[in-house]
Amino acid sequence: MIEDLIRPNVRAMKPYSSARSEFQGEAQVMLDANENSLGSAGPAEFNRYPDPHQLSVKQALAPLKGVTPAQVFLSNGSDEVIDLLVRLVGVPGRDSLVITPPTFGMYEVAAALNDIAVERVELNADFQLTAEAVQQILASDAKIVFLCSPNNPTGNALLAADIEAVLRGFKGLVVVDEAYADFANQPSWTTRLGEFPHLVVLQTFSKAWGLAGIRLGMAFGSEELIAYLNRIKAPYNVSENTQRLALAALADTTRFEAMRQELLAGRAWLEAELAGLPIVEHIFPSDANFLLTRFRPDAGAVYQYLLSRGIVVRRPSQPACAGTLRLTVGTRAENAALVAALREFSA
């Protein structure tokens, strides 16, 4: 089934192969890639190209996720793998993808870049899929559907029953974007990969792992699908420095859990403080590390006031989020500064 979804030219192409990727074992002399063998102006180890398959990172990551290394794809941020998935199955000028607004804007950017049409299936007022919306997705001939859960910018997880209904009936790839899943109290869809060969789960090191600066995204899927992604990626898409920093983080899961718990506590504190402000009309339920908050009478004025105080928040542009600001949970000091500024504005 997966092969039927792949663009014919991708099925037929011969991928780029470096000598480094063809060699197995520990090389004593590496004269294959025209590197500077004398070293570098920086750390000596960075004069060589990184492992093109990131095997050490995948081997460390796979047990944490309950998958095999062959089911893991690593990317230069989630943006790269979103683009690759669209290119993998979507024929420019002919095919389409499905999104569920309001949702993460990069899906539309990838579609536009690759000349893929966008079918929009709107979420309801609670930012969930309705029965009619699920049927609309199932009836589509699109090659791929993106379901962001927990959703950005709304913060809520989509109902598991609705995602499963899409998985059981949609004919194309189903991509569940779990960038914020570490903040949600529900199992990851990586636990269902064996049931659904057309399922792809996206995660990231940018949120709960606290490593947005290294730009490392993760995709999990069937071995067949991951092999196709490896076929079309750039040869050295994840830097040596990124791989080293990821390995260090994966070796310190205690710190990861401590940060996750601190952010969850910060989310609860911030929500309680916001609820007591007269300018706050509604705080939407969040399974992420941010709170989508509706302000009255004018969210734009609140936004500008915060900017004047040196506090940058997100003002969602999608119509369903009119009147809202997306507030990231920060450090204790940052959260306190945000609440203090909002109190000043209220006064």
Give 340's pLDDT tier (boundaries 50, 70, 90). Answer: very high
pLDDT of res. 19: 65
Same domain, residue pair 62 and 142: yes
Alpha helices in the chain (DSSP H): 2-5, 8-12, 19-22, 55-65, 77-89, 106-113, 131-139, 160-169, 223-232, 240-250, 253-275, 299-308, 332-346
Give 31's pLDDT tier (boundaries 50, 70, 90). Answer: confident
Per the CB < 8 A criterion, the answer to whether 167 and 295 are in contact is: no
Q: What percent of the chain has pLDDT over 90?
A: 89
Tokens 């539309």 belong to: 108
Phi/psi at 336 (5° precision): -65, -40
Q: What is the CATH number of the domain that holds 222?
A: 3.40.640.10
Same domain, residue pair 164 and 128: yes
Q: What percent of the chain has pLDDT over 70?
A: 98
DSSP 177: E
Same domain, residue pair 227 and 128: yes
- More reliable by pLDDT, 36 or 303: 303
Give 41's pLDDT tier (boundaries 50, 70, 90). Answer: confident
Tell me which of 251, 271, 291 is where a domain ends: 251
With CA atoms as reference, report the closest residue to 65 among 255, 168, 194, 160.
194
Whether the per-residue pLDDT at 252 is higher than 70: the answer is: yes
Across 282-303, average pLDDT:
98
pLDDT of res. 20: 67
Whether the per-residue pLDDT at 84 is higher than 80: the answer is: yes
pLDDT of res. 148: 98
Across 223-237, average pLDDT:
96
Whether the per-residue pLDDT at 27 is higher than 90: the answer is: no
Q: What is the CATH number of the domain that holds 339?
A: 3.90.1150.10
- Terminal C-alpha separation, the chain: 61
Look up the domain containing 261 and give its range. 254-346
Same domain, residue pair 179 and 275: no
Same domain, residue pair 258 and 157: no
Across 41-57, average pLDDT:
89
Same domain, residue pair 245 and 272: no
Whether the per-residue pLDDT at 201 is higher than 90: the answer is: yes
Tell me which of 251, 286, 316 is where a domain ends: 251
How far apart CA 252 and CA 256 sit, in angstroms, is 7
Give 63's pLDDT tier (boundaries 50, 70, 90). Answer: very high
pTM: 0.96
Segment 87-111, tens digit of pLDDT: 999 999 999 999 999 999 999 999 9
pLDDT of res. 28: 79
Across 246-270, average pLDDT:
97
Tell me which of 232, 251, 270 is where a domain ends: 251
Across 61-73, average pLDDT:
98
Same domain, residue pair 29 and 163: yes
Collapsing DSSP to helix, strand or coil, 199 comes out as strand
pLDDT of res. 337: 98
Same domain, residue pair 282 and 163: no
Report the number of distinct structural domains present in the chain.
2
